[in-house]
Amino acid sequence: MAKTYPSFSSPTIDQVGAEERAARFTKRSIKKAAKVQALKLALNMVDLTTLEGADTPGKVQQLCQKALHPHLGYPGLPTTAAVCVYPTMVRVAKNLVKGSGVKVAAVATAFPSGQAPQDVKIRDTKYAVSEGADEVDMVISRGKFLSGEYEYVYDEIAAIKEACGKARLKVILETGELGTLDNIRKASDIAILAGADFIKTSTGKISPAATMPVTLVMLEAIRDYYFKTGTMIGMKPAGGIRTAKQAVHYLVMVRETLGQDWLTNQWFRFGASSLANNLILQLIKQRDGVYGSMDYISKD
Amino acid sequence: MAKKNTSSPALNFATDWTYAPAPESTGHVEIKKQYNLFINGEFVKPSSKKYFDTINPATGEVLSKIAEANDKDVDKAVKAARKAYETVWSKMPAKERGKYVYRIARLIQERAREFSVIESLDGGKPIRESRDIDIPLAAAHFFYYAGWADKLPYAFPNAQVKPLGVAGQVIPWNFPLLMAAWKIAPALATGNTIVIKPAETTSLTALKLAELIQDAGLPPGVVNIVTGAGATGAAIVNHPDVDKIAFTGSTGVGKIIQRAVAGTDKKVTLELGGKAANIILEDAPIDQAVEGIINGIYFNQGHVCCAGSRLFVQESVAEEVIHKLKTRMETLIVGDPLDKNTDIGAINSQNQLKTIKEYIKIGKGEGAEFFQPSCALPKNGGFWCKPTLFTNTAQSHRIVQEEIFGPVLAVQTIRTVEEALTKANNTPYGLSAGVWTDKGSKIFRLTSKLKAGIIWANTFNKFDPTSPFGGYKESGFGREGGVAGLAAYLNVKG
């Protein structure tokens, strides 16, 4: 693989303007049928996630059940898009979701810090893929990025992409550590040019995780790349999106920034652990007119 | 990665997921069948006995009938204002005066929802704007000037200040309540009494304000609100016992007013038309600039005197900016002003729609390239106009020279900062301008050389009570807002 660091320039970002634009999406009023449609769509875009040192096969098995059957009391609900686990849990998950359409995503490359030698990261990635991961969520080397070693970051992403083989690569920028929207835009451009299939905001281990202005800047990077090349890149905000209302705001933002073609779980995902149940709660409210008890909604 | 089979990729906004209608309810709003004139603290029938219809521009339906004030009514209002000035308002301790102004501010906040809905019903502007901008900003102006009422010596140190007396005020239809607030708040805080005339197509929120002023317990005659068209305005301007004329509206009418007051001792402030330059340089934050262009020209259907109606884009980024602008325009929602998702509402009146359509015809005739997004317009008795973009325009085009007061943007390219300056200043107007660049030094260079009263850097159409607003050249004189806005209603003896 001889991809060389390309010459490109990222546009500057005005933070105040980006925040204002992001806030505008939250003013859209999504009601009735449009809301139900959005809630189901969002549920179908969730990467149901467990990324704990304490994860066990038992815990992952339960998570997979939840992904396949989000809520028995609401027939016809879609599954989530994927389950997202550590590489060592991939095989357990893969066996459980086989044939369902639910993907298995593995975080790799010394998640969440990314502080490991590159060969270790490549081995980590290859291991996850060999265990059956459909998707790999890698972290960029933020330390290298912040010290200006953009070529290193680029080369590393390209190397991981190669190690992924057929698995789709999501590149986590860990935007909460990048400091400015200008940096986030630049990191997005580097990731896309280096071969990311998806760009993703956060590991969920750092605060702030996903925010709307950050996601907007990344969506705009995806849009600009599409304008230039006709190639679609996916987007995954992760961490901090806990309520159905937030999820709907994100969908509005995707719809009005990238259009209809991105409104599918092939191109947009939510990395979240508690969002699914809030979506279910709101779906029940829309159907029955009243909120149900959370005791009727499974907590896996 | 999916490769799209297209040579020039466009985004697909014809979506499967459309927003259901989300209309703001009107159930809580009370609009009377008929409104009289508000003179000396009460609603009185017009001596003309004439009433005119005010309609909802989104449907064409009649909302109410509004009294038409003639010379006699205006005289009555001025006499009431004079009496209130002499006997009560000029004698009241400034602190007490301030309390009344605060009370108006609080009552506007309390009734914000009703005011928002009526503003959108009567004027056609999207509820998002009346709810988030017009009404809160109107309240903010009253709060701001209420605070100054007893602190005038601090605003004008080492000087003695005195109110002017009776202020005659004539306001436009684009921001009905907000313009009333801009006029009434500083005049009251400085100790003047008022005769104000709202525009004939948008009298309702001013009349609601009259009710609110009654509820606030303001002494009778301090604020008088007379409704009517041009003749009523002329009666105020020409009344011999008015000390001050404050007018916001067209440059044409502004010139008539200036002629009318020549040789009298009336003080005048005029806030008139504009044809603002919005300048996008190559190092601008492009996506935020595109949003600023949208906000600059399509805010309030382009019925904004400081609208960024002339766009100057540096050639190296022109193609990208225009492509992104057109893409963004595809996502604008045009329709029912009361729908919370509406971005662009109804054109304020049939007349204005006619004017805008005429200019669109002129633009096409002048050879400019025309673009409108594919959005659908409501099919009813309302007045609608799609957001419109003209590219390949030149300073010699009428659509570049004249104020259209509608959602029509004329785009020109520029090569250098110098050229941008020359062209931006090449207009008889000078109300506002916008500059977009990542470089601070360019911002300072441009803002110091642009001949405009308000200049925004990396934003557009931002308003705040603390910030003075007013024009250069034929955009008028005098300032509203901030400390400068106090001076317009005071005799300052230094």
The residues near B362 (Cβ < 8 Å, ≥ 6 apart) are B398, B399
- As a whole number, mean pLDDT of residues B413-422 equals 98
Residue of B24, B68, B129, B305 marked active site: B305
Beta strands in chain A (DSSP E): 46-49, 82-85, 103-107, 135-139, 168-172, 198-200, 234-236, 270-272
Q: Which domains does chain B have, with CATH numbers?
A: 34-272+473-493 (3.40.605.10), 277-457 (3.40.309.10)
**Spatial distance between the Cα atoms of B302 and B295, rounded to a whole number of angstroms:** 9
pTM tops 0.90: yes
Give the A window 194-213 contacts with B, CB below 8 Å: 197
Catalytic residue list contains A200: yes
Q: What is the structure's pLDDT at A2?
A: 56
Nearest C-alpha neighbor of B426 from the set B418, B437, B438: B418
Record: contact B4-A231, CB cut-off 8 A: yes
B247-261 tens-digit pLDDT: 999 999 999 999 999
Q: What is the structure's pLDDT at B8?
A: 63
In angstroms, how far is the first alpha carbon of chain A from the final one? Answer: 42
Q: B18 contacts in A (CB within 8 Å)?
A: 34
Size of interface A-B (CB pairs under 8 A): 100
Report residue B6's pLDDT band, with 50, 70 and 90 as the boundaries: very low
Q: B457 contacts in A (CB within 8 Å)?
A: none
The residues near B134 (Cβ < 8 Å, ≥ 6 apart) are B116, B119, B125, B175, B177, B178
**Is A230's Cβ below 8 Å from some Cβ in B?**
yes
Report residue A88's pLDDT band, with 50, 70 and 90 as the boundaries: very high
Q: What is the structure's pLDDT at B476?
A: 97
Mutate to test the interface with A, among B17, B437, B458 (most CBs of A within 10 A): B17
Strand, helix or coil for residue A298: coil
pLDDT at A20 over 80: yes
- As a whole number, mean pLDDT of residues B104-120 equals 98
| Closest in A27, A34, A230 to B3, CB measured | A230
Mutate to test the interface with B, among A10, A21, A24, A169 (most CBs of B within 10 A): A21
**Spatial distance between the Cα atoms of B296 and B307, rounded to a whole number of angstroms:** 5
- As a whole number, mean pLDDT of residues B290-310 equals 98
Q: What is the structure's pLDDT at A3?
A: 78
Q: What is the structure's pLDDT at B3?
A: 44
- As a whole number, mean pLDDT of residues A53-79 equals 96
Record: contact A260-B14, CB cut-off 8 A: yes
Strand, helix or coil for residue B345: coil
Q: What is the structure's pLDDT at B9?
A: 83
| Closest in B20, B286, B331 to A256, CB measured | B331
pLDDT at B463 over 90: yes
Chain A CA closest to residue B329 = A256
Q: What is the structure's pLDDT at B197?
A: 98
Contacting A with CB below 8 Å, chain B residues are 1-4, 6, 9, 11-22, 128, 132, 283-289, 291-292, 323, 331, 340-341, 438, 458-459
Nearest chain A Cα distance for residue B338, angstroms:
12
pLDDT at B275 over 50: yes
- As a whole number, mean pLDDT of residues B274-298 equals 98
B359-399 tens-digit pLDDT: 999 999 999 999 999 999 999 999 999 999 999 999 999 99
Nearest chain A Cα distance for residue B151, angstroms:
33
pLDDT at B59 over 90: yes
- As a whole number, mean pLDDT of residues A273-288 equals 96
B311-341 tens-digit pLDDT: 999 999 999 999 999 999 999 999 999 999 9
Q: What is the structure's pLDDT at A102?
A: 98
Chain A CA closest to residue B317 = A11
Catalytic residue list contains B305: yes
Q: What is the structure's pLDDT at B2?
A: 46
Antiparallel, parallel or unpaired: β B37-39 and B34-35 = unpaired
- As a whole number, mean pLDDT of residues A126-130 equals 98
In this structure, what are the phi and psi dihedrals at residue A197, rounded to the nearest 5 degrees?
-85, -30
Record: contact A263-B292, CB cut-off 8 A: no
pLDDT at A1 over 80: no
Q: Which domains does chain A have, with CATH numbers?
A: 29-290 (3.20.20.70)
Nearest chain A Cα distance for residue B202, angstroms:
26
**Spatial distance between the Cα atoms of B492 and B487, rounded to a whole number of angstroms:** 7
Nearest chain B Cα distance for residue A295, angstroms:
31
Mean pLDDT for chain A overall: 97
| Closest in B19, B331, B438 to A30, CB measured | B19
The amino acid occupying position B198 is P
Residue of A94, A121, A186, A236 marked active site: A236
Record: contact A34-B3, CB cut-off 8 A: no
Interface predicted TM-score (ipTM):
0.95
Beta strands in B333-386 (DSSP E): 369-371
Q: What is the structure's pLDDT at B1?
A: 41
Q: What is the structure's pLDDT at A273?
A: 87
**Spatial distance between the Cα atoms of B302 and B344, rounded to a whole number of angstroms:** 9
Q: A29 contacts in B (CB within 8 Å)?
A: 19, 22, 340-341
- As a whole number, mean pLDDT of residues A30-40 equals 96
Record: contact B288-A14, CB cut-off 8 A: yes
Report residue A96's pLDDT band, with 50, 70 and 90 as the boundaries: very high
C-alpha distances (whole Å) from B112 to each of A41, A251, B94, B106 are 35, 30, 27, 10
**Spatial distance between the Cα atoms of B381 and A49, rounded to a whole number of angstroms:** 53
A220-259 tens-digit pLDDT: 999 999 999 999 999 999 999 999 999 999 999 999 999 9
**Is A166's Cβ below 8 Å from some Cβ in B?**
no
User: Are A238 and A84 within 8 A, CB to CB?
Assistant: no
Antiparallel, parallel or unpaired: β B42-44 and B432-436 = unpaired
Q: B19 contacts in A (CB within 8 Å)?
A: 28-30, 34
Mean pLDDT for chain B overall: 96
Identify the helix (H) or strand (E) that includes residue B67. strand B62-67
Record: contact B4-A226, CB cut-off 8 A: yes
User: Are A157 and A190 within 8 A, CB to CB?
Assistant: yes
The amino acid occupying position B366 is E
Residue of A137, A155, A189, A197 marked active site: A137
pLDDT at B5 over 80: no
pLDDT at B134 over 90: yes
Catalytic residue list contains A189: no
**Spatial distance between the Cα atoms of A70 and A141, rounded to a whole number of angstroms:** 35
The percent of residues in chain B predicted with pLDDT above 70, rounded, is 98
User: Are B145 and B189 within 8 A, CB to CB?
Assistant: yes
B35-47 tens-digit pLDDT: 999 999 999 999 9
